[in-house]
A and B are shown apart, each in its own frame.
Chain A
Amino acid sequence: MTTAPRPDARFRVEFDDATFTEDLEHTSSDTGRALAHRERDKLTADRLSPNRLKRCDTEARDGTSLPGCVKIYIPEPDGTWGMVFQLRIDDKGRPFLAYLAFGTRHPTSPGALSVYEVAHHRIHIQPPQR
């Protein structure tokens, strides 16, 4: 049975402190860190509307694979940074978005990881195959 979408529905968002801290330690931009903090506060308080969420690719052109994941760009709609979340079900059967990574969408420094590569590493515990 198909259920009609609920226009007021929002996803609860959870942040793992150690993960968020590690990402901000690897964000060289003061602006990026400030935006990440502001977004975290906002999402924790207001939850996240599905119409802000973009599905991640199961096979992206950079070799990353993020099934069951969604993302937002910061600032919206097409900002420099991205935040990736994994859709999960808690022990009571309720859905929530689990923070996976924050970072630059298109890093310019040689060897630097994109937010997608970081997220991929965290759910697969290994780097993407290029």
Chain B
Amino acid sequence: MASEPHVTLSGDIVGEYIVKDRRPNGELTLVPDTYPTVTPEYDGRPVTAEEFAAFEAEYGPFLPPDGEG
């Protein structure tokens, strides 16, 4: 699966765009890149902070966070 070409515009129009069409004369058709648009769907529910700690205790400790995200 190849990704579509992306461009970043600056000037009168600013933002991320996807190149939908590229003609031999250089003309481009752009659409705004609204990524991410998909919201994942799963059964159940997210754990609470208490449940997170309980599962960590049961399954073994996770590595600590590193501040980058």
Binding site for B on A (CB under 8 A): 2-3, 5-7, 9-11, 14, 16, 18-19, 21-28, 33, 49-51, 53-57, 60-62, 64, 66-68, 70-71, 82, 84, 86-91, 95-96, 98-101, 105-106, 109-123, 125
Contacts and interface: CB of A to CB of B under 8 A. Distances in A.
A64 B69 contact: yes
Contact of A122 (B6, B40, B57, B66): B40
A113 to B, nearest CB: 7
Contact of A68 (B4, B15, B52): B52
A122 B39 contact: yes
Interface in B44-69: 44-49, 51-52, 55-69
Task: Pick from B4, B8, B59, B64 the residue with the most CB of A within 10 Å.
Answer: B59
Interface of B: 1, 3-4, 6, 8, 15-16, 35-49, 51-52, 55-69
Given A61-B67, A89-B44, 18 more contacts: A5-B57, A5-B58, A16-B40, A22-B37, A26-B35, A49-B60, A53-B62, A54-B64, A55-B63, A62-B69, A87-B51, A88-B46, A95-B47, A101-B36, A111-B8, A113-B35, A121-B36, A125-B39
A44 B67 CA distance: 28
A53 B63 CA distance: 6
A50 B56 contact: yes
A9 B60 contact: yes
B52 A87 contact: yes
Contacts of A82: 69
Given A22-B35, A67-B49, A68-B49, A54 B55 contact: no
24 contacts: A6-B60, A7-B60, A14-B42, A16-B38, A16-B41, A22-B35, A22-B38, A26-B35, A50-B56, A50-B61, A54-B66, A57-B67, A70-B62, A87-B47, A88-B43, A88-B46, A88-B47, A90-B44, A91-B44, A105-B68, A119-B69, A121-B36, A122-B36, A123-B46
